[in-house]
Chains A and B, each alone.
Chain A
Amino acid sequence: MHDANKPRDTRAPVVGENVTRLDGAAKVTGVARYVDDLPAMPGELHGATVRSPLPRGVLRAVMLDPSFDWSDVTVVTAKDVPDNVVQLIVDDQPVLAAERVNHRYEPVALVACADKAKLARAVAAVTLDIEPLPAVFDAEESLLGRTVIWGESNVQNRYLITKGAADADDGEAAFEAALRACDVVVRGEYSTHHQEQLYIETNGMVAWWDDDGVHATGSLQCPYYVHKAFKRCFHLEPEQIHITQAVTGGGFGGKEEYPSLIAMHAALLAKKSGRPVRMIYDRVEDFEATTKRHPSRCIVETGCDADGTLRALKMRVLMDAGAYVTLSPVVLSRGVLHAGGCYRWRDVRIEGVSVATNTPPNGAFRGFGAPQTTWAIERHLDAVARRLGIDAGELKRKNLLAEGDSTATSQVLHGSIGGAECVEKAFAASDYVAKRRRGPIVEGRKARGIGCSVFMHGGGFTGSGERMLKGKVAVDLLLGGRLEVRSASTDIGQGTETIFAQIAADAAGVSISAVSVAVPSTTRVPDSGPTVASRTVMVVGSIVERAAREIAERVEAVRRAGESFAAAGDRLLAQEGPQTALVQYEPPAWVNWDDKRYKGDAYPVYAWMVDVAEVEVDLDTFETRVLEFWSAADVGKAIHPLMCKGQLEGGSLQAIGWALSEEVVWKDGAIVNPRMTNYIIPTALDAPPFHTILVEAPYAHGPGGGAKGIGELPMDGGASAVAAAVEHAIGVAIDHLPLTPERLFAAWARSNSEAAQ
């Protein structure tokens, strides 16, 4: 029985329960309004983009066909842009190309018209006079710097991580000596390819101007990114900019930085025409113009003892940034920070380089650099195990980071380390050890094999990022004992709204039905930081929890014996006026990161995961089917176990698609397959049964009793588990993604002809 004096505790806790999604009913019944469902505003125009047909060149002129009737068409070019820079990290990307074009599909001009059919003709009536310049499409070629397309050398960013011998003044030589002294030295090269986020809803935005300033509403992850971009582009005061999220149909990073551009485009047309402007990309345009996952090429060399104890790791990580910097420095950073995997190394020398190519800028995508380096280190350890003649799973288990161990950045791990438990549980559930020992099973023309990957993903912004970001959340007390959570963290399908309500309800001791979550609009919500980096639950959720608790404490302070929370709250509001708890995030005090030396606590905590994939390869057609997929993931604490598993399984399927079938096909900087017909993501039939085990090693600073960020985690390791399983099945090791039947066949034919010699 509950104490009658504590009515606010009579509610059963909802954290850890699979409550009904707050956004579920509206979405399944079609009531939810995505941006293109928003009713047309009076006088609204449709906007479209004129894009560069060439990958690189000097833009001489934008010409309008004089025979075309332009009377009801608005045209915007670079000279209409007040400050022609996309505000992000480096000021190298124009809102509209002015003198140069640096990639195919680069926006050069904008047109708007009320009549959609005429709009399409207007786009065709704009001609771009571009003098072609030599273009570079390959990162290795760009690194050579023979044709300089960006800055002085094409190199955008470099990072160096050192540890042990590599820390010395003559680090490189000392490291080499340490590496060469190892019993077994293995070298390998591993590469990954572009990947399209392929959210269901394409990018879209509606913008208009009025006495309050400029408004943009649309599909987005980070309202304050758009806000900052507008402030720069239009030279406005912060309060003149009103950025609001519409119901958003998926993002996966693809709506992190790109919405700033389309929103500015719509606002530029709206400004010039004096009308609201709606810009909605169709699938082909969205596919061609928006960001993709950075391709990568890693050269790895490791040294270990004869018994498999890992000692030295050398890695060069090369990432293809595309034509502009956008978020590449951060992607590369997360990439190198995850390059050591979840293993103990004595000596480390990891170098990261990102270079420009004349392709559309690559950008944020679930995992954010970590899937690339995880692919490299996991495939490499598979190669080391092969050399040593031991099982890769055993090698990984043996060298797994544990309490008190230090990572590649010399971060000493304390607490919430579920790696070993994940290994035990995933191996046991899948019978991994016995199946590996038994070897592949060949029945008829099908071969079955099993493989694993072990990995971790840092939650929140890298290093001192959260400290600089100062994310904030507000919780308001409303009449009737209700709470409203105001944050800039968007629900893009991953369940933010529901999870914040769960966290706030338990923190305040109220029913979840008493909690509402505000629509993220920069006019109404504080800047909680972007909805990225697996930080929404772990970082922003933790301040939602604190803010809700603070409101509850204020109510509690005035509550009389026997009085309900609602009655006390109403009285507090009547006596004291509006009650808002505004809480700013502070990382744990012990987080210590040295940005210059790239050393220290890269992330306050890591989520851990082990994937085991069992695959069947058709020995005639080299089609690979994932038959079963087991995962064990240390999530700290599952706020909503069902959605948590949904994130893990969805991310794993995205990784399987990246591994087996997704491939952006390029020709001279243009995309050959910009549609769902021939960019092949898995369907429900291609998805294996997922067996997902949640491990909870709570994080002391996580909300709801220890939640960690897991949104990106499952993207990191799925591909390498599949590749290890394919290798087990047919004895062909593939180190370059994707493992399409064509590539498997070619590798198999090569290995056969080598064997024949």
Chain B
Amino acid sequence: MSLVDLPRYEFARPATLDETCAMLAEREAKREKTVLLAGGTDFMVQVSQGKLASDPLPLVVDIGRLDELRGVRLDGSRLRIGAAVTYLELQRDPIVREYAPLVAQMTHDIGGPTIQARGTLGGNLATASPAGDGIAAIAAYDPIIEVQSVRGRRRIPMAELQTGYKATTRAGDELIVAIELPLPAHGAAWCWRKVGTRLAQAISKVALGAVAEVSGGKVGRIGLAIASVGPTTSLLPRTRALVTATPLANLTAATVDAVVAEDVSPIDDVRSTREYRVHTAKAVVRGFLRELGAPV
């Protein structure tokens, strides 16, 4: 489908966040459908695959230029990323590269340069696909997702955002404003490992985002998140618990594999198989733990 074949969407570009919230509240009250457009990389795919309800056509609201959704800011040990910051901007941002290298690294694996120039973390979170690479990367930091509506601002912990396949606790009148990453100690170990269908323009079969603070052979803080191994981004709670409770030297491949297997629930789909994903999830987690010094 080319642009000229698009249905004739009504389009709005409110000037401010407040205006956007008011518009959303009003439409939500009237049960009118709205699409929030940041980079449009999911929207265009949904349109071309006919997956978007078209009767009536939703109002397309461009939020990609709202100041409140732009920019990257470091507040002490918290990194705040505007929801409409593109992957390319993240890739080039010296603060992100310095303080959240995992996020910067992940951006290279998103689609290709054109997608990177359009796509945003906020969009990735709103779509809430379990295959979202951006979500797996930031989820390793256990971030807070800030959403806004006329009712005020709400801070949603990552673990409480996704409720099921492409479903979140964000209400219809709320929009994602920013992602706040509580940063681990500077120089903490990290890993981004995407296993895709090819080296670019690929959707993940398995993708691991991981950060860890290690001292004295023990892991203090750990963040693990894997894409595409369940209906939501998998945060691997049992694996995290095992790793923080056990000296690295005492971890074994078998115990790690066992908890990872409990933490993930992948399916067979067009991209891969359940068996392969379980195996690969175990393998990439062990790969990270090996880097930390575990004999797994």
Q: Is B199 an interface residue (CB 8 A)?
A: yes
A603-622 Cβ-contact flags toward B at 8 Å (1 or 0):
00000000000000000111
Closest residue on chain B to residue A36 by CB atoms? B2
With A680-B198, A685-B200 given, is the CB distance from A742 to B5 under 8 Å? no
Most B-side CB within 10 Å, residue of A621, A665, A682: A621
Residues in chain B near residue A680, CB distance under 8 A: 197-198, 202
B1 interfacial contact with A, CB 8 Å: yes
B residues within 8 A CB of A661?
197-198
The answer, yes or no, to whether A586 is at the interface (CB within 8 Å) is: no
User: In the bound complex, what is the Cα–Cα distance between A685 and B197 (angstroms)?
Assistant: 12
A117 touches B7 (CB 8 A): yes
In the complex the two chains form, is B203's CB within 8 Å of A677's CB? yes
* Residues from 567 to 625 in A contacting B, C-beta threshold 8 Å: 620-623
Complex CA gap A259/B112 in Å reads 32
B276 touches A686 (CB 8 A): no
Q: In angstroms, how far is the closest chain B Cβ from the Cβ of A637? A: 36
Given A282-B1, A745-B276, residue A623 in contact with residue B271 (CB < 8 A): no
**Closest A residue to B45 using CB positions:** A677
A146 interfacial contact with B, CB 8 Å = no
State in angstroms the CA–CA spacing of A680 and B276 once bound together.
18
For residue B272, which residues in chain A have a CB less than 8 angstroms away from its CB?
A: 741-742
Q: Which residue of B lies closest to A676 (CB)?
A: B201
**Interface residue? A445 (CB, 8 A):** yes
Partner pick for B276 among A445, A665, A683, A741, CB 8 A cutoff: A741
A686 touches B203 (CB 8 A): no
A746 to B278, CA, bound (A): 12
The distance from the CB of A499 to the nearest CB of chain B, in whole angstroms, is 32
Smallest CB–CB gap between B37 and chain A, Å?
20
Cα distance, A672 to B1, chains bound together (Å): 19
Q: Which chain B positions have C-beta within 8 A of A676? A: 201
A116 within 8 A of B: yes
Count of chain B residues with a beta carbon within 8 Å of a chain A beta carbon:
27
Contact B270 A621 (CB under 8 A): no
Say yes or no: A445-B287 contact (C-beta < 8 A), given A116-B5, A678-B270: yes
Residue of B at shortest CB range from A682? B198
A673 B280 Cβ-Cβ under 8 A: no
Q: How far is the CB of B208 from chain A (nearest CB, A)?
A: 11
Per-residue 0/1 for B177-203: is the Cβ within 8 Å of any A Cβ (1 yes, 0 no)? 000000000000000000101111111
Give chain B residues whose Cβ lies under 8 Å from the Cβ of A117.
Answer: 7
B230 CB to nearest chain A CB (Å): 18
Contact indicator A623/B195 (Cβ below 8 Å): yes
Query: Nearest B residue to A672 by beta-carbon distance?
Result: B270
**B219 sits at the interface (CB 8 A):** no
B280 touches A620 (CB 8 A): yes
| Shortest Cβ gap from B145 to chain A (Å) | 27
Which residues of the partner chain B approach A741 to less than 8 Å between Cβ atoms? 195, 205, 272, 276, 280
Does B283 lie at the interface of the complex (its beta carbon under 8 Å from any beta carbon of A)? yes
Measured CA separation A673–B203 after assembly (Å): 13
Q: How far is the CA of A742 from the CA of B269 in the complex (A)?
A: 12
Per-position binary interface string of chain B over residues 271-292, scored 1 when its CB falls under 8 Å from any chain A CB and 0 otherwise: 1110110011001101100000
- The answer to whether A621 touches B201, judged by C-beta atoms less than 8 angstroms apart, is no
CB of B280 within 8 A of CB of A621, answer: yes
Contact B200 A673 (CB under 8 A): no
B8-41 vs A, CB cutoff 8 Å, 1 = contact: the mask equals 0000000000000000000000000000000000
Q: Which residues of B contact A745 (CB under 8 A)?
A: 275-276, 279-280
Chain B residues contacting A683 (CB-CB under 8 Å) are 112, 198-201
Residues of the B chain whose Cβ atoms lie less than 8 Å from the Cβ of A621: 195, 206, 280, 283-284
User: Which chain A residues border B279 with CB–CB below 8 Å?
Assistant: 745, 749
Tell me the complex Cα distance, A620–B277, Å. Answer: 11
Residues of B within 8 A of A116 (CB): 5
Given the known inter-chain contacts A282-B1, A742-B272, please indicate yes or no for A678 contacting B283, CB distance below 8 A. no
Q: Which residues of A664-685 have CB atoms within 8 Å of chain B's CB atoms?
A: 665, 672-673, 676-678, 680, 682-685
Q: Residues of A contacting B283 with CB < 8 Å?
A: 620-621
Q: How far is the CA of A282 from the CA of B1 in the complex (A)?
A: 7
CB distance from B43 to the nearest CB of A (A): 15
- B277 — nearest CB in chain A belongs to which residue? A742
Q: How far is the CA of A678 from the CA of B269 in the complex (A)?
A: 11
Contact call A742/B270, Cβ cutoff below 8 A: no
With both chains docked as a complex, state the minimum distance between the C-beta of B139 and any C-beta of chain A, in angstroms.
20
Q: A620-B287, A621-B284 are in contact. Are A742 and B198 (CB under 8 A)?
A: no
A742 touches B276 (CB 8 A): yes
Neighbour of A665 across the interface among B7, B270, B286, CB < 8 A:
B270
B269 to nearest A CB, angstroms? 9
Beta-carbon contacts of B107-119 to A below 8 Å, as 1s and 0s?
Answer: 0000010000000
Q: How near does chain B come to A282, taking the closest CB pair, in angstroms?
A: 7
> A102 to B203, alpha carbons, bound, how many Å?
34
| Cβ distance A504 to chain B, nearest Cβ, rounded Å | 39
Q: Shortest Cβ distance from A40 into chain B, in angstroms?
A: 13
Q: Which residue of B lies closest to A619 (CB)?
A: B283
Q: How far is the CB of A171 from chain B (nearest CB, A)?
A: 45
Does A678 contact B276, Cβ atoms closer than 8 Å?
A: no
Instruction: Tell me the minimal C-beta distance from A283 to chain B in angstroms.
Output: 9
B66 to chain A, nearest CB (A): 29
Tell me the smallest distance from the CB of A620 to a CB of chain B, in Å: 4
Contact across chains for B273 and A742 when beta carbons are under 8 A apart: yes
- B1 cross-chain contacts in A, Cβ below 8 A: 282
In the docked arrangement, what's the CA distance between A685 and B196, Å? 13
- A116 to B276 CA separation, bound complex (whole angstroms): 43
* A269 to B: closest C-beta gap in Å: 19
Q: Which residue of B45, B112, B199 contacts A686 across the interface (Cβ within 8 Å)?
A: B199
Q: How far is the CA of A720 from the CA of B279 in the complex (A)?
A: 27
**B205 proximity list for chain A (CB < 8 A):** 741
Cα distance A685–B195 in the bound complex, in angstroms: 14
A682 — which chain B residues lie within 8 A by C-beta?
Answer: 198
Q: How far is the CA of A678 from the CA of B49 in the complex (A)?
A: 13
Give the most central of A661, A665, A673, A680: most B CB within 10 Å: A680
Bound CA span A678–B198, Å? 10
- Minimal beta-carbon separation of A697 from chain B (angstroms): 37
Chain A nearest CB from B219 CB (Å) reads 21
Q: CA–CA, A726 to B201, complex, Å?
A: 24
Kindly state the separation between the CA atoms of A672 and B268 in the bound complex, as whole angstroms: 13
B155 to chain A, nearest CB (A): 34
Do B284 and A620 have beta carbons less than 8 Å apart?
Answer: yes
Q: A445-B287, A678-B270 are in contact. Are A685 and B199 (CB under 8 A)?
A: yes
Give the complex CA separation of A677 and B272 in angstroms. 14
Nearest B-chain residue to A741, judged by Cβ: B276
Point out the residues of chain A lying under 8 angstroms from B199, CB to CB. 683, 685-686
Which chain A residue shows the least CB distance to B4?
A116
What is the minimal beta-carbon distance from B204 to any residue of chain A, in angstroms?
Answer: 11
14 A-B residue pairings within 8 Å (CB atoms) = A117-B7, A445-B287, A621-B280, A621-B283, A622-B276, A677-B203, A678-B270, A680-B198, A680-B202, A683-B200, A686-B199, A741-B276, A742-B272, A745-B276
Q: 3 closest pairs, A vs B, by CB?
A: A620-B283, A685-B199, A742-B276
- Apart from A676-B201, A680-B202, 4 more pairs, CB < 8 Å: A620-B287, A678-B203, A686-B198, A741-B280
Which A residues fall within an 8 A CB radius of B?
Answer: 116-117, 282, 445, 620-623, 661, 665, 672-673, 676-678, 680, 682-686, 741-742, 745-746, 749
